[in-house]
């Protein structure tokens, strides 16, 4: 069946450093790739998304890159801050399949 | 706008009991979704709906039922609750299907003992 693989499951970085989370999907027909952030005890919220006709999208300190040939897309967070600590999820296949999540820990 | 609201916030069920989780949205979205999130895990789609009267199964539909009689409401029914259904349940809605942001409710934490 269709699947979305997300890595790593946990990522610990020093405050101010960059973080990269990667998702790989199986369905080549997927054309929308969102990233959601879920803070502890809260609901998931969209932070950035990209459509298949674009290779990269930036919004201040966060960016998403897409490689359709290799069927993977990545979330990049630069100059990480304590408030970036959360679980991040990717989704694909019309958002019907979600990655398992990455717990991002920002060390002071 | 209240967005997506869910009731109850918490519930403890005994094995074999049934209950309905309520979900309402006031954004006039046609698309609505139910997910479950087990501790430390990702989101698994249970059911989704593309409009009133139309529902479809997601990844993990067994043990659940849904209905969609209005645009605003999308209740999730658990019949014969089992410990494996202990989870946090999120309802979400979106303007359209696939490539649009999903707006999530605050979640319902369900424990089956």
B45 vs A contacts (CB less than 8 Å): 96-98
Partner residue facing A43 (CB), from B97, B98, B107: B107
Residues A23-73: pLDDT tens digits?
Answer: 999 988 888 999 999 999 999 999 999 988 889 999 999 999 999 999 999
Name the minimum distance, in Å, from the CA of B98 to any CA of chain A. Answer: 4
% of chain A surpassing 70 pLDDT: 100
Q: Does B95 touch chain A (CB under 8 A)?
A: no
CB B11 within 8 A of CB B108: yes
Q: Six-digit token pair at B7?
A: 């009731």
A96 vs B contacts (CB less than 8 Å): 45, 48, 58-59
Confidence category of residue B104, pLDDT binned at 50, 70, 90: very high
Residue A97 confidence (pLDDT) above 80: yes
Residues B19-49: pLDDT tens digits?
Answer: 999 999 999 999 999 999 998 888 999 999 9
In chain B, the residue whose alpha carbon lies closest to the alpha carbon of A39 is B106
The answer to whether B42 contacts A99, with C-beta atoms less than 8 Å apart, is yes
The answer to whether A96 contacts B106, with C-beta atoms less than 8 Å apart, is no
In chain B, the residue whose alpha carbon lies closest to the alpha carbon of A89 is B42
């Amino acid at each position: 069946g269709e699947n979305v693989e997300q890595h790593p499951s946990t990522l610990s970085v020093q405050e101010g450093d960059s973080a990269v989370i990667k998702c790989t999907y199986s369905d080549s027909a997927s054309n929308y790739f969102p990233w959601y952030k879920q803070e502890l005890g809260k609901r998931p919220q969209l932070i950035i998304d990209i459509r298949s006709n674009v290779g990269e999208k930036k919004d201040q300190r966060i960016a998403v890159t897409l490689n359709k040939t290799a069927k993977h897309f990545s979330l990049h967070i630069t100059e990480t801050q304590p408030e970036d600590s959360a679980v991040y999820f990717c989704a694909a296949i019309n958002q019907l399949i979600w990655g398992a999540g990455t717990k991002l820990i920002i060390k002071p | 706008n209240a967005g997506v609201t869910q009731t109850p916030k918490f519930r403890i069920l005994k094995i074999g009991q049934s209950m309905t989780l309520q979900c309402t949205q006031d954004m006039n979205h046609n698309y609505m979704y139910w997910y479950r999130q087990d501790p430390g895990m990702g989101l698994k789609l249970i059911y989704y709906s593309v409009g009133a009267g139309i529902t479809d199964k997601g990844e993990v539909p067994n043990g659940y039922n849904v209905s969609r009689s209005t645009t605003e409401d999308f209740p999730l029914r658990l019949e014969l609750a089992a410990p494996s259904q202990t989870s946090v349940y999120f309802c979400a809605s979106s303007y359209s299907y696939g490539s649009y942001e999903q707006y999530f409710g605050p979640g319902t934490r369900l424990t089956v003992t």
